[in-house]
Amino acid sequence: METLCITGGQPLHGTLAVQGSKNAVLPLLAAAAAVPGRSVLLGCPSIRDLRVSCALLEGLGLSCRAAGDTLFLDAAAPPRTDPDPALAGQLRSSVLLLGALLGRCGQAEIPLPGGCVLGARPLDLHLKGLEALGVEVRREDCLLRCRGRPRAGTVRLPYPSVGATENLMLAALGASGPVRICGAAREPEIRDLAAFLNACGARVTGAGSACVRITPAPLHGAVHRVLPDRMEAATWLCAVAAAGGTLRLTGLCPAQLEPVLRTLEQAGCELTREPAALSLRAGALQAPEPVVTGPYPAFPTDAQAPMMAALLRAQGRTLFSETVFEDRFRHVPALRAMGAQIELSGRRAVVHGTAKLHGAEMAATDLRGAAAMVCAALGAEGESRITQAWHLDRGYADFAARLRALGAEVRVEA
């Protein structure tokens, strides 16, 4: 997908099933490299990042075969420990191979990872955590060289980094004894990774709390269903809030989205929660309480940009504070081009609701920023053109087709 053309101003209506989580499946793929044997992942999303991850694993000697939304992985043979730099450079999650390969092979040579450019995203927490477990870490230009089996011990993270928590969990699979991660991230994706590792024979306790304990044990392959994608669900909710209409989402856990749902309700949307489904009816929007991103269970940074787009026409003034990434307002110039009134100062943005938005030409710069441009375009009058729309393919399966299923007027230009 190169350019997405959207004619806005039409309410959306329909039902969508939520895909498997991008932020959950990528750590699971890295984990597969650490587990000798065959594993099956059910409910995988058909997204670009997953395909790149599979190519990265195949370059290490693993077998990856997709059949629909099921992925068959075979890591019976010991993997190579030097991932392809060209592929690793496309994914932030490629850094998780550091922990996976250390845990299984006791060494790894990892190119610096890629992914969305969102400001400084240092790996210091990952590397200092590994060093605390006795791993030798060396930086050489754009390469990380790590040697040594992790030892038993405790790692204290000064910030609940999701990636560092996942990397340390994977490295601990091959440690000389129990490893405790204190100050761990508490996101649902951490619990999902722990569930897969436990199904593979590991002994992981405390996932979802601030202290995770991993006790090494013999590992084998397992069958696991990927967690539903709460960020995809948030995007669809914001799209309908922006355009107006009704939406029913199935196959998700509403409780994992509570900060997003609370903001939408404060803004005037009517929500109905069920155990594994959620319905939204958009209303006349008004400014909600300030949106402040943070580690789970706070408002997720991945939902900040779509939520801002949803509230561009909300009556009043909405304050956004971004505490996770320093450059996560890169979508603001595109929204302003559509007539949005946004004041920007560092990590704070103030949206002054405007009665009308108009179509514009925009260039996507990252995954969630591209989603924000789509949400805004759906609520604008006239046609919008979003170039570099391939960013959407990184995290959303069949995005244009699913929009059309809700009644949106969308076309794709190569």
CA separation for the pair 280, 241 (Å, rounded): 8
Average per-residue pLDDT for the chain: 95
Structure tokens at 49: 């990042």
Instruction: Output the pTM of the full model.
Output: 0.96
Q: How confident is residue 1, by pLDDT bands cut at 50, 70 and 90?
A: low
The stretch 245-268 carries a mean pLDDT of 98
Q: Is 400 helix (H, G, I), strand (E, B) or coil?
A: helix
The stretch 356-367 carries a mean pLDDT of 96
Structure tokens at 189: 């994706």
CA separation for the pair 93, 2 (Å, rounded): 23
The stretch 314-329 carries a mean pLDDT of 93
Tell me, what's the pLDDT at 153?
97
Tell me, what's the pLDDT at 115?
45
The answer to whether residues 74 and 62 touch, using CB atoms and an 8 Å cutoff, is: yes
Q: Nearest-CA neighbor of 264 among 241, 232, 298?
A: 241
Q: Nearest-CA neighbor of 11 among 282, 235, 388, 395?
A: 282
Q: Residue 116: is its pLDDT beyond 70?
A: no
Looking at 3.30.565.10, 3.65.10.10, 3.90.1170.50, 3.40.50.300, the CATH number of the domain 3-19+228-413 comes to: 3.65.10.10
What are the pLDDT digits (tens) for 121-140? Answer: 578 899 999 999 999 999 88
Residue 105 annotated among the catalytic residues of the structure: no
Q: Residue 117: is its pLDDT beyond 50?
A: no
The answer to whether residues 122 and 129 touch, using CB atoms and an 8 Å cutoff, is: no
Q: Is the bond leading into 297 cis (omega within 30 degrees of zero)? A: yes
The length of the chain is 414
Tell me, what's the pLDDT at 142?
81
CA separation for the pair 28, 407 (Å, rounded): 34
Q: Where are the alpha helices (DSSP H) in 35-90?
A: 48-59, 85-88
Q: What is the 3-state secondary structure (H, E, C) of 330-384?
A: CCHHHHHHCCCEEEEECCEEEEECCCCCECCEEECCCHHHHHHHHHHHHCCECEE
Long-range contacts of 322-325, Cβ-Cβ distance < 8 Å, separation of 24 or more: 322/293, 322/347, 322/348, 322/349, 323/292, 323/293, 323/294, 323/347, 324/293, 324/294, 324/295, 325/118, 325/119, 325/121, 325/301
**Domain spanning 22-220: which CATH class is it, in words?**
alpha beta
Q: Residue 9: is its pLDDT beyond 80?
A: yes
Tell me, what's the pLDDT at 64?
97
Q: Where are the domains of the chain?
A: 3-19+228-413, 22-220
Can 3-19+228-413 and 22-220 be said to share one CATH topology? Answer: yes
CA separation for the pair 119, 117 (Å, rounded): 6
Catalytic residue among 116, 146, 238, 269: 116
Tell me, what's the pLDDT at 119?
46
